[in-house]
Amino acid sequence: MTDYLDFISTITERSQIKTFIEADAGVQQQEGRLYSVFAAWWQIHSASLSELPKTKKVMELRTEFWSSFVDTLTPVGLLDRFKVAGVVASWWNEQRYELRTLSESDFGGLIDSWVDTIKDALEQDDDEKKKQAKFDPLNHKLVGRLMPDYLQDIAEAEAKIAELEQQKLAFEQGEEAEADVEEGEDSEAVNTVKDLETDLKYIKNSIKEPKKELKILKKTPLLNKDKIAELEVFIERHEVEIAEIEAQLEPYKKIVQELKEAKAKLKTLKNELVNRLEAARAALSNEDCQDLVLAIFKDGLIAELERYVTAHRQMVIAAVENWWDKYRVKLQDIETERDAAAKKLSEFLQGLGYV
C-alpha cells in the first residue's frame, strides 16, 4: 500500500503527542492567525461598543457583533461557523446585563456598579457568603485590571504563608519522616514538636517540687549539705535538658511567629480592598473609564475564544491519541507475533501428541 502512514520516529510514547501538537509550528501559526484576525475585528467594531451609552441600541449592537464576528473569523478555518458563533454568543450572554447597564448610564456608571457589587459581597454575613461561595471579590475582572499591583501583593503574601506552613509542617514531621518520604515509604503520623513540648512540660514539672524543697533546705545549709548538693545536681541536669529542648524549639517558634505575622498582613491587605478600589476608581477620568471597560470586555471575549480554541486543540490531540492506541503497532509486527504464537502452539500440540 503506497499511502501507508506512520508516526514520526521522535514520538515513542503516547504522552508525547500532546506536547508535540501544542509545540507544532503549523498549529501555533494557525491559532496566531485567528487571534490576529480577532484583533483586527475588535479594532473596527469596538467603536460601536464605545458609542453604546449614546446610541442606547443594545440589540443592534448584538446583531452587528454576531454577524461580523462570524463572517470575519470563520474564514480562518480553525473553528467552524457554529463554534465561532458560540464564542460571541457565550460572551454576549455573560455580559448582557453589564451591556444594558452601560447603555443606560456610561462607562463610569458601569465601573461604579462593579465597585458596588464587590462592596456588597464583602459586607454580606457568613450565611450569605456561603450561598455565593463561588464569588471571590479578588477575582473580579475590575480588580484584576484596575489593581494588578495590589493582587501581586496578595499573591506574595499567600505564597509566604504557604512557604511558612510548609516549613512548620516539615519541622513538626521531623527528619525521620523526611527520610521515609525520600525512600518512598509511608511514615507514621508524628509530631516532633508535640513530643518535645510534652517532654519539656514533664521535665519542668519534675523539678518543681525539688526546687521548693531546695529553697527550704537552704535555710539551714549546714544541716542539709548533702541533700542540697544532691538536689542541685538533679535540678541542674534537668535544666540543661530544658535548655536543649528550648533551643530545639526556638526555630519552630520563630516560624510560628512569622506565620502569624504573615497571616495578619494578608488579612490587613484584604481588608484594604474597598478603600484601595474606591481610591483607584476616584483617580479615573472619563476617558480612563472607557478604556478600562473596553479592555475588560475585550479580555472576556478573548477568554471565550481561547476556551473554544483550547477545546478544538484538545479534540485534535484526542484524535491522534486514539490513532496511537489503534495503530501504533504495525500490521507486520502483529502478523509476526501471530505467526510466532501459532508456531509455539503447533510445537506444543505436537509434544502432546495431537498432531
Cβ-based burial of 270 (10 A; exposed 0-12, middle 13-18, buried ≥19): middle
Taking each helix axis from N to C end, the angle separating 225-271 and 273-282, rounded to the nearest 10 degrees, works out to 30
Q: Do the Cβ atoms of 292 and 108 come closer than 8 Å?
A: no
Structure confidence at residue 188 (pLDDT): 57
CA 135 to chain centre: 16
Q: What does the DSSP 8-state code read for residue 77? A: S
Mean pLDDT by 10 residues, the chain (355 residues): 68 88 93 97 96 95 96 96 96 95 95 93 67 76 94 96 95 69 55 91 92 89 86 92 93 95 95 94 96 97 97 94 78 62 69 64
- The full 3-state SS of 243-289, as one line of letters, equals HHHHHHHHHHHHHHHHHHHHHHHHHHHHHCHHHHHHHHHHCCCHHHH
* Alpha carbon distance 252, 259 (integer Å): 10
Give the type of residue at 188: E
DSSP letters of 288-349?
A: HHHHHHHHHHHHHHHHHHHHHHHHHHHHHHHHHHHHHHHHSS-HHHHHHHHHHHHHHHHHHH
- Per-residue pLDDT, 44: 96
Measured between alpha carbons, how far is 227 from 214 in angstroms, rounded to an integer?
8
CA–CA gap between residue 99 and residue 92 (Å, rounded): 9
Q: Is 219 left (phi over 0), alpha (psi -120 to 50) or beta?
A: alpha
User: Which sequence spans correspond to the domains of the chain?
Assistant: 16-104+285-331, 151-271
Query: pTM of the entire structure?
Result: 0.75
All three cell numbers of 174, joined, read 521531623
